[in-house]
Amino acid sequence: MLSTSEELNHYLSKTSEPEGHLLKRIDRETQLEVLMPRMLSGHFQGRVLSMLSKMLKPKVILEVGTFTGYATLCLAEGLPKDGKIISLDINEELEDRVRGYFSASDYKQQIDYRIGNALELIPKIEDVFDLVFIDADKKNNGAYYDLVFDKLKPGGIIIVDNVLWSGKVLTNINDSDTINISTFNQMVKNDTRVEQLILPVRDGLFIIRKK
């Protein structure tokens, strides 16, 4: 019989690679000083993102939804020296904090952090992506997916966060976010251009591979 979620999460974190000092700082300061700190990826999910990035060795990563930059730095761990991550976020209030974190990291020269509406920013990006991480407003998951798809190389990966939505996708709850996420999940399942699976990591990571 599995332990409670809190106990299990503690065990998973304890048996995973430790997070670095900067990531610990971002986690601590986000929990103390930023609204909705639960949006932070956190230690275990961060290690999952880092491992996937290291396995893929992407030259160009797109992140939609930076928040305080924790996941950005985890994904950057898999970049080659000449690689980059473009991270988009609409929250101007967090910009100075996040730029400070990025400036303190080993990846500061490889992070292209842009503030604005991702629906407007993505069409202007000319790069071809190896890896895309979508973790922004859930109502636009489908729009982000459509915008990045033709910019993703064959064999490239899209990762979408929060696709289990605290288990609400298994219920008859009809709030707008749950409906949007369930609709998006079904759309991806029916997309014959991709291979897909959901990892039950934290709130659910949809791993989508372009054929």
What is the distance between the alpha carbons of residues 149 and 127, in angstroms, rounded to a whole number? 12
- Among residues 125, 136, 65, the alpha carbon closest in space to that of 98 is found at 65
Q: What is the DSSP code (8-state) at residue 17?
A: P
Which residue shows structure tokens 């999952």? 48
**Model-level pTM greater than 0.85?**
yes
pLDDT at 33: 97
pLDDT at 204 over 70: yes
Pair type for strands 84-89 and 129-134? unpaired
pLDDT at 94 over 50: yes
Banded model confidence at residue 4, pLDDT cuts 50, 70, 90 = low
- By percentage, how much of the chain surpasses pLDDT 70? 98
